[in-house]
């Protein structure tokens, strides 16, 4: 029985990947060299060699599709990743770890299927979305936090096979000792280190006021206010954007480093890492714009969001703390982990108060409130204001796209928010290319695209009816 189950899993997984590679290649114009061998490496162990014949391999494309392993020529049709897929006919999980219904957070990053293309002229990473089974036993499954799968509400989901060219000089031993999952992730690490350094400098200047020329009460107040604003702004970016990317695509290859770096990442923004991931991935992405998505503003009687200022000042920490308490305490499988992560967070978060309680209040708590209320909350509001839940009639109306080049350059491409919700596992550095390929779909579907960034959008939505009307206007380049 065990042999039959393993054989069934292997055949199903190979068929899915084979169909995805061939079908998406046909749609996007990618051709595989002759003979081109795809070595499939999954959690099931060494995979088989899949051979596809064609003339050559084009490496200047980013794959953005999902195809069904259909019985007929439907496998050649391009299907968006949002298509609801049926669960595999096999009831067993695709992983060898079938005895554990939940995976730890750190295992989420290693659950991707990797296929290595033997082509020496190709140097670009290409993402082939495919899908895999995701079970949810006894209501304890965590979706993307628990097992491989998309951030969708259904039990079947979408993950990705990351196709990376295998260079002749890049041995498996060197790849195993590589620290970062993606070369561009070094910017995430640098930004977080700079954020912690900024806090350390502010603390030191507060403890040594004469060095900064702080001699009186008013100069100290000015220093505290200026420092809190700057620290709050960079903390909001560090957690709401930088760690956000890590929660979808862990930046390290080591599970241990991902887990502990994540804990050291979010405590400087007033969050336990597990709580933030639960809110964003398990709630927001899986239940976007539904009544169960309590990370977004409340809806009024006419279906619109509540007042902008009301959401900013009531959501964090009051409203979100109540929802977290109800959710995590009601799920027995998460109680112990929640308490453990909360204890680790409190131990780290209390460090400034041991140095100077007053300093901890003004240069630690106040920046965290600014980061959550004005940076992260305003971003959540503008990204989905005026949007509707995804449906066949409106498939791309669930998020707003912000096209400001400067904003996306300095904010890890967070402006491509609709593309991110459609393909949450695509790396943040590849979102502009993904947007370029999805542009015809966005224009045809009537997606809301604006030519500025989040901050200007928050200014418009916080104003009167005329300013809110300007926010609803479409970028002329995306008019139908």
Cα–Cα distance measured from residue 295 to residue 279, given in angstroms and rounded to the nearest whole number: 7
Residue 5 has pLDDT above 90, yes or no: no
Is the Cβ–Cβ distance between 283 and 294 less than 8 Å? yes
Is the Cβ–Cβ distance between 18 and 24 less than 8 Å? no
Distances (CA, A) of 221 to 47, 204, 217, 224: 64, 16, 6, 5
Read off the pLDDT band of 282 (50, 70, 90). very high
For 168-192, what is each residue's pLDDT tens digit?
334 445 455 689 999 999 999 999 9
Cα–Cα distance measured from residue 322 to residue 309, given in angstroms and rounded to the nearest whole number: 20
Please give the full DSSP string across 271-284, using - where no structure is assigned.
Answer: --HHHHHIIIIIII
For 91-100, what is each residue's pLDDT tens digit?
333 333 334 3
- CB under 8 Å to 214, separation ≥6 — which residues? 205, 220, 223
More confident residue, 368 or 77: 368
| pLDDT reported for residue 215 | 87
pTM, two decimal places: 0.69
**Mean pLDDT lowest among 146-160, 212-226, 290-304, 432-446:** 146-160
What count of residues does the chain have? 480
Is the Cβ–Cβ distance between 18 and 163 less than 8 Å? no
Q: What would the two tokens of residue 257 be?
A: 């480093």
- Mean pLDDT in the chain? 74
| pLDDT reported for residue 123 | 34
- Of 189, 171, 193, 169, the closest CA to residue 181 belongs to 189
3-state secondary structure of 130: strand
Is the Cβ–Cβ distance between 227 and 77 less than 8 Å? no
In this prediction, residues 190-196 reach a mean pLDDT of 97
Indicate the helix (H) or strand (E) that contains 330. Answer: helix 320-330
For helices 332-349 and 320-330, angle between their N-to-C axes, nearest 10 degrees: 130
Radius of gyration of the chain (CA): 24
In this prediction, residues 35-47 reach a mean pLDDT of 34
Read off the pLDDT band of 8 (50, 70, 90). low
| pLDDT reported for residue 480 | 67
| pLDDT reported for residue 44 | 32
Is the Cβ–Cβ distance between 163 and 126 less than 8 Å? yes
For helices 454-461 and 377-384, angle between their N-to-C axes, nearest 10 degrees: 80
DSSP 249: S
Cα–Cα distance measured from residue 91 to residue 135, given in angstroms and rounded to the nearest whole number: 9
For 229-277, what is each residue's pLDDT tens digit?
999 999 999 999 999 999 999 999 999 999 999 999 999 999 999 999 9
| pLDDT reported for residue 311 | 97
| pLDDT reported for residue 175 | 55
How far from the centroid of its chain's Cα atoms is residue 209's Cα? 40
Cα–Cα distance measured from residue 365 to residue 407, given in angstroms and rounded to the nearest whole number: 27
Is the Cβ–Cβ distance between 103 and 159 less than 8 Å? no
């Amino acid at each position: 029985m065990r042999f039959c189950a393993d054989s069934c899993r292997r055949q199903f997984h190979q068929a899915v990947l084979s169909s995805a590679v061939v079908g998406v290649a046909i749609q996007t114009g990618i051709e595989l060299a002759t003979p081109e061998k795809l070595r499939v490496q999954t959690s099931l162990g060494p995979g088989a060699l899949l051979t596809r014949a064609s003339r050559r391999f084009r490496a200047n494309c980013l794959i953005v599709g999902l195809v069904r392993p259909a019985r007929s020529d439907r496998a050649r049709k391009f299907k968006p990743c949002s298509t609801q897929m049926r669960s595999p006919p096999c009831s067993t999980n695709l992983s060898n770890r079938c005895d554990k219904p939940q995976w730890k957070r750190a295992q989420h990053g290693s659950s991707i299927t990797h296929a290595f293309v033997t082509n020496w002229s190709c140097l670009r990473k290409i993402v082939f979305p495919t899908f895999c089974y995701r079970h949810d036993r006894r209501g304890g499954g965590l979706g993307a936090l628990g097992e491989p799968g998309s951030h969708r509400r259904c039990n079947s989901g979408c993950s990705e096979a990351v196709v990376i060219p295998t260079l002749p000089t890049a041995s498996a031993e060197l790849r195993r000792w590589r620290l970062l999952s993606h070369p561009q992730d070094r910017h995430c690490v640098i930004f977080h280190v700079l954020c912690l350094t900024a806090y350390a400098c502010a603390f030191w200047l507060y403890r040594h006021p004469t060095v900064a020329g702080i001699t009186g009460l008013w100069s100290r107040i000015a220093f505290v206010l200026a420092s809190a604003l700057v620290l709050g702004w960079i903390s909001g970016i560090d957690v709401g954007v930088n760690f956000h990317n890590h929660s979808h695509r862990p930046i390290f290859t080591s599970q241990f480093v991902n887990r502990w770096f994540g804990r050291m990442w979010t405590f400087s923004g007033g969050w336990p890492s597990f709580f933030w991931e639960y809110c964003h991935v398990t709630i927001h992405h899986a239940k976007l714009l539904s009544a169960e998505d309590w990370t977004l503003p409340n809806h009024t009687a006419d279906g619109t969001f509540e007042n902008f200022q009301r959401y900013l000042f009531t959501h964090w920490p009051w409203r979100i703390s109540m929802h977290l308490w109800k959710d995590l305490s009601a799920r027995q499988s998460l109680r112990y982990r929640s308490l453990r992560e909360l204890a680790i967070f409190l131990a780290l978060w209390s460090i400034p108060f041991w140095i100077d309680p007053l300093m901890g209040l003004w240069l630690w708590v106040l920046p965290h409130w600014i980061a959550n209320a004005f940076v992260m909350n305003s971003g959540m509001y503008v990204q989905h204001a005026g949007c509707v839940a995804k449906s066949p009639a409106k498939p791309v109306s669930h998020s707003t796209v912000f096209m400001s080049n400067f904003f996306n350059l300095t904010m890890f491409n967070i402006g491509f928010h609709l593309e991110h919700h459609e393909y949450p596992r695509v790396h943040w550095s590849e979102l502009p290319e993904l947007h370029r390929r999805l542009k015809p779909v966005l224009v045809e579907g009537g997606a809301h695209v604006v030519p500025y960034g989040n901050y200007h959008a928050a200014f418009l939505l916080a104003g009167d009816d005329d300013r809110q009307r300007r926010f609803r206007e479409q970028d002329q380049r995306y008019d139908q």
